[in-house]
Structure 1
């Protein structure tokens, strides 16, 4: 029968009471790697993981854990999960560290995150799937996790915490933003905003959706998204590119309101003599003399005052002294 997290933690902690020769070698190597005066601010996570395995986890991890950096993990600093092997059994463990969140943070954050996820991996090895479903904490951070994390912190001077989400960094990658038009936009803490790192609109797949529909009932509209990558821009058609231009000429053109409105249902004579009493709504071109038709206005490029196309040069000369 698999061990409980508490039992597995106790075994690992007892192994720290009297270090074996291999553990002492690993401890010395870790100290050299993490020397504050070391020239490199980065760390080889694979080498460090192997040393941590020897020192703290009874050398149980390296045969079953696949460790890697992830460029797509942006919601938390690290993740550890059970995955299927070639026979379809959950015997492999995948441990990933977030490259976007950790690459510009102090080296200690990478080290503490690696240890945090290694503790999860150790419990997956010893407790199997029961680790993520323990009775007192379904997130896997129950009594066993806290016991072993505290022992490792005390032994090596680390700072392994239950949570390692870096809020500012995480938020900077949540560039797809939706805003609700319902009452919840006036309520803290979210004020109707949903921010995500991927382009997935709020909907029924969200656990909170049904409650939102009951309590608010508003609709979400997207208000922000990241710029397209160069590869995405290159894949656009010419028409799609034109639609994304921000300096289109119609932003500078305004249409003057007409002072003469058409009257509805006016009777007129058909020039060809057929149906002289026929009725239809007259068009502006038919009803307004050429001198009274709408004139196109331009916004002055200097003061933004609307002027007609014919008088823009006179306006520039008279008001701004150009010419």
Structure 2
């Protein structure tokens, strides 16, 4: 009969009473690290120590531990993948650098332990772990071992460890649906992603959206270029970028907005009908003065910093900086 997660958890828990000399040494080193004034975390060294204390020294060298700069939807992940022989024996444990680098050190330690529990079950029960009694790997065995580790070391290993504010801060690519779903909670037709991947047929919910809404998604926000990306732009590309910023400012739209959604608009405001013109109060004295100011608007050339009339910026760029 195959070993279950619950069986493997009981074996790990049984090894905690009494502790061996190796476990006692590991616990002493862990305490000196966890309760030190140093705010940094050496996840590789801690993983080595936790392997000896809680996981029967079964995880190394099989489990690969690393920081991930691309993991932005959850704090950590543990994967069972194919090795060079095509068998599911390779285990990779990754922690999210973007989400954890500004969090308290305890969050990194709890996340490391959470993923180490998954790694332990992958070692002991293989692929059956991810198909356990709850289908997510957080069944009775996981809860049993996590509870034992929490009680033994005073940790706070939980089933879920996503940090909503941090996750949302990296979802800077935003699309808005123009169909009926933009008036429906909880999403109001908004799709936010950390990667520039537009909503489409690869999404599991796409077919349902086509049937029930049928609206078209339009990108309304995206992150700006990094300093490194800007320095790599050609003079012509930088000039075009400056013109786009000017157009966005003059039209009152946010940069990256492909749908002309007003700057600062929220989901509910997007339901208002678009009249096709910028509305102003009748007789507003600002209207006439704004037109005059627009004619005299000076902008800095993005290449030579010369002050040039907004209407003449393109001619200036063509004459002085065309490559």
TM-score, length-normalised on structure 1?
0.76
User: Which residue, 91, 115, 118 being the options, matches 1:93?
Assistant: 91
Q: What is the match of residue 5 of structure 1?
A: 5
User: Which residue, 104, 107, 115 being the options, matches 1:106?
Assistant: 104
Q: What is the match of residue 114 of structure 2?
A: 116
Distance change (3 Å), C-alpha of 1:191 and 1:114: same
Q: What is the match of residue 211 of structure 1?
A: 208
Q: What is the match of residue 32 of structure 2?
A: 32
8 Å contact from structure 1 (residues 68, 95) kept in 2? yes
2:247, 2:4 → 1: CA distance?
A: 69
1:233, 1:105 → 2: CA distance?
A: 30
Looking at CA atoms only, which structure, 1 or 2, has the larger radius of gyration? 1
8 Å contact from structure 1 (residues 2, 126) kept in 2? no
Distance change (3 Å), C-alpha of 1:250 and 1:64: closer
Give the C-alpha shift of residue 195 in structure 1.
0.3
Give the C-alpha shift of residue 88 in structure 1.
2.0
Residues 152-167 of structure 1 aligned to structure 2 (within 5 Å): 152-167=149-164
SS in 1 for 2:114: helix
- Corresponding position: 1:199 with 2:185: no
The count of corresponding residues between Structure 1 and Structure 2 is: 261
Ranges in structure 2 where 5+ consecutive residues have no aligned partner? 252-285, 297-323
1:115, 1:205 → 2: CA distance?
A: 33
1:235, 1:176 → 2: CA distance?
A: 22
TM-score, length-normalised on structure 2?
0.76
Ranges in structure 1 where 5+ consecutive residues have no aligned partner? 254-299, 311-323
Q: What is the match of residue 77 of structure 2?
A: 79
Deviations 1:147-203 (A, max 9, x none): 100010011100000000000000000000000001111111111100000000000
Give the C-alpha shift of residue 250 in structure 1.
11
2:37, 2:144 → 1: CA distance?
A: 34
Distance change (3 Å), C-alpha of 1:175 and 1:146: same
Higher mean C-alpha deviation, range 199-208 or range 12-21: 12-21
Distance change (3 Å), C-alpha of 1:252 and 1:12: closer
User: Which residue, 126, 140, 144 being the options, matches 2:141?
Assistant: 144
1:13, 1:227 → 2: CA distance?
A: 50
